Amino acid sequence: MSNFLKKHLLIIPVIIYLLSVVNGYTQEVKQDTLSLVRGYQEEASKALFTQDFNTAIINLNKARDLVTPSKNILLKASVNISFAEFHYNLHNYNKASSGVIKAITQLKDTGDKIQQAKAYQLYGLILTQTKKFSDAEKYLKDADKIFEEVKDEKNQVLILVAFGNLELKRENPNVAINYFEAALPYLISNRLLNTEASLYLKETESLLLLNDSKNNSNLNHAKKTLTKALAIIEVNSFSELKIESYKASSLIAIREGKLELASNYLNIYSQKKDSIHTVYINTISADIDRNSNVGDFNEIITSLQDELDKKQKSINFSKMTTGLSVALIIILSLLALSLFKNNNLRAKANDLLKDKNIELTLAKEKAERASLAKAQFLSTITHELRTPLYAVTGLTHLLQEEDPKPEQKEHLNSLKFSGEYLLSLINNILDLNKLEANKVEIEKTTFSLKKRINDVLIALKKTAEDRKNSLHFEYDESIPEKLIGDPLKLSQVLINLIGNSVKFTQNGEVTIRVQLNNSFKDKVNLKIEIEDTGVGISKKKQKSIFETFNQGSLQINRKFGGSGLGLSIVKNLLELMNSKIYLESTLGKGSKFWFDISFNVSEEHNEDINLEKAKFKVDYKALENVSILVVEDNKINQMITKKILEKNKFICKVADNGMDAIKMVHENNFEVILMDIHMPGISGIETTEKIREFNKQIPIIALTAVTIDENLDEFYKAGFNEIIPKPFKPENFFEKIYRTLEASKTAIE
């Protein structure tokens, strides 16, 4: 670099500084005006919140004085919105309406969507109060659409509250409550205490408009909601909401028949309202007096405007000159530094590539470790969940075999159904990677669709009653009685969808519709719908609701519970059955899920017969007096397995661990062994290997809660003849024992 260039580069920063000072001065006046106006608006908003109306109007008038000579349309519209909010809070709806209409007109061509949305939202609130309900709904929807576009979650929630107030004014309390319930989790988590307390008061009023049951559930709910409101109001001294609470208290007293108490609350409410009304009148009068003085200053402002315009032209010329100078200096600086930066960039690029390669290697190793940890976790938790579930299904089977009373049969059938469903659910949750990779197999079983859905509804009946919901089942009777498909996986889809609708609906209805779309030869295509009148799902959440572990929001998880896996499993299972889930929902009004699915028509008359496995018939007579050893460390599982075997006249002995099992096989002539895998001391696999050292003929069946799909070779290599996963269906259990014994006899012959 030449000496000339080095010398001149030293003075460049000085020149830039001097030019920026001159240019900055021209911006200061505008920036100061903007800051002052914003400051006055903030002070007015704070004063309005504490009902200090005089301070609020003084600050708003100061803001208006500053923006009157300005050409900043956005700033003028903002001040007009502030005035409209002020008059809305004074219940001066005509003045509020004219102010917000003026702001909407000013904002029309500015492109400021957020300000437009706020103006629409405020106008919707004003129109609600003046009972222009259709117009109010239109403006609130326009506001909501913009808030959704800009992802303004807070104002979307406030729109829900506004819709709730609108429906309450329309005398639709059920719909109003849905909107309030949908908004409440966000208000609580973000501590919007004033809005939360106001919402509780409105929900109290809505609940009192509903017809009540014999146990006065809506009245009791209203009292609890009012208590929540009062707790917030007292702590935060919300005086205006305190006045409104007297009105709610009087309505509750009337419902309870306490007329004297209701009269007292109503008198307090009227007195407080009258005093506030007086303040409203004085404030509005002061504003009118203040406005009458504004005209005196208009002439002065006009005379000063011409002088300001001349100065503005001079400033604009200075701006242009300054801009050209700065541009020239920047170009010279860039030319001088380009060579130096080029070398630096090359060196940095090489260093960055090396760093990225190291990061990728580390990330790969981390992912591999995480995958291994996940596999180990799934293996352990599978065993821990299946073991107690085996006790549930085994005891259910034993109870069903003991000739239960007629009134107990329905409960046992429901328990059996729930156990089968829970087993299917555990398999899918713990094997979610396998499900998403489409490795889960679809069974082909004859079943009754109508009975399956009735079983689901019976299982969910108590939950629906607890939430005061009505379940409706509409079934197309032209659908064939027996279909071929996978009833367990279909039940899992239905129990997730119907269970979700019941959980997110209160004092409402859940309807299940099954319709025949079309039929061809031995195949039918059905449409299954689940519709509710619950809180609904926002459009934003609809896009992600079917993702794994997604439940809308943390607030929904806290309020309603759940893992967020249900709809993900529904989506995967339906895709596995060549179907697809669809959703329509509106916040505050409810949701509708539906899917089309095809089944083959069956000529079988027995339900749930596995078409592949039913061909092999079990000779239960041949199993009588068979000597069998059960190797199991869990005492409950020992008892269940032993009772199931002895009911079918097996001669059964039990070993608590692998070492005892080896000793007993040495000393006895067992015809078959049932071997658990996870045991204290040596495992079932090691025990089998040791038995095979001295007895290669005896059939050994693995009776295990371990996930076996990926370990089949290891089991057979150790010397097992067959594998029965726990929990099992008794018919499959005896079929495998019989099949193994028959195969063993054939091998000996």
Instruction: Output phi, psi for 273, to 5 deg.
Output: -65, -40
Q: Calculate mean pLDDT across residues 502-509.
A: 90
| Structural fold of domain 620-748 | Rossmann fold (3.40.50)
pLDDT score recorded for residue 688: 93
Per DSSP, helices labelled H in 210-258 are 217-236, 239-255
Q: Contact at 8 Å (CB) between 577 and 485?
A: yes
pLDDT in tens, 181-233: 999 999 999 999 989 999 999 999 898 888 877 678 888 888 899 999 999 99
Residue 538 is classified by DSSP as: -
Whether 444-601 shares its CATH topology with 620-748 is answered: no
Question: Which residue is listed with tokens 């003075």?
Answer: 11
Q: In the CATH scheme, what is the code of domain 444-601?
A: 3.30.565.10
Decide which of 731 and 579 is more confident.
579
Looking at domain 171-285, its CATH superfamily turns out to be Tetratricopeptide repeat domain (1.25.40.10)
Dist CA 190 CA 467 (whole Å): 27
Dist CA 630 CA 653 (whole Å): 6
The pair of structure tokens assigned to 149 is: 């576009």
Decide which of 280 and 61 is more confident.
61
pLDDT score recorded for residue 572: 84
Per-residue confidence band for 513, with pLDDT thresholds at 50, 70 and 90: very high
Q: Contact at 8 Å (CB) between 489 and 574?
A: no
Q: Which of 135-149, 604-618, 734-748 has the lowest mean pLDDT?
A: 604-618
Dist CA 169 CA 129 (whole Å): 8
Domain residues of the chain, as ranges?
Answer: 171-285, 444-601, 620-748
pLDDT in tens, 358-389: 888 888 778 777 766 665 566 566 556 666 76
pLDDT score recorded for residue 691: 93
Q: Calculate mean pLDDT across residues 315-343.
A: 67
Q: Which of 343-347, 463-467, 533-537, 707-711 has the lowest mean pLDDT?
A: 707-711
The pair of structure tokens assigned to 370 is: 């995480």
Distance of CA 81 to the CA centre of its chain: 35
pLDDT score recorded for residue 25: 45
Decide which of 541 and 629 is more confident.
629
Dist CA 149 CA 163 (whole Å): 19
Judged against a pLDDT cut of 60, whether residue 297 lies above it is answered with no
The pair of structure tokens assigned to 503 is: 């959980």
Residue 605 is classified by DSSP as: -
Percentage of the chain surpassing pLDDT 90? 26
Per-residue confidence band for 299, with pLDDT thresholds at 50, 70 and 90: very low
Q: Calculate mean pLDDT across residues 55-81.
A: 85
Decide which of 158 and 612 is more confident.
158
For the chain, report the end-to-end CA distance as a whole number of angstroms.
100
Dist CA 149 CA 422 (whole Å): 41
pLDDT in tens, 582-613: 999 988 889 999 999 999 998 765 444 443 44
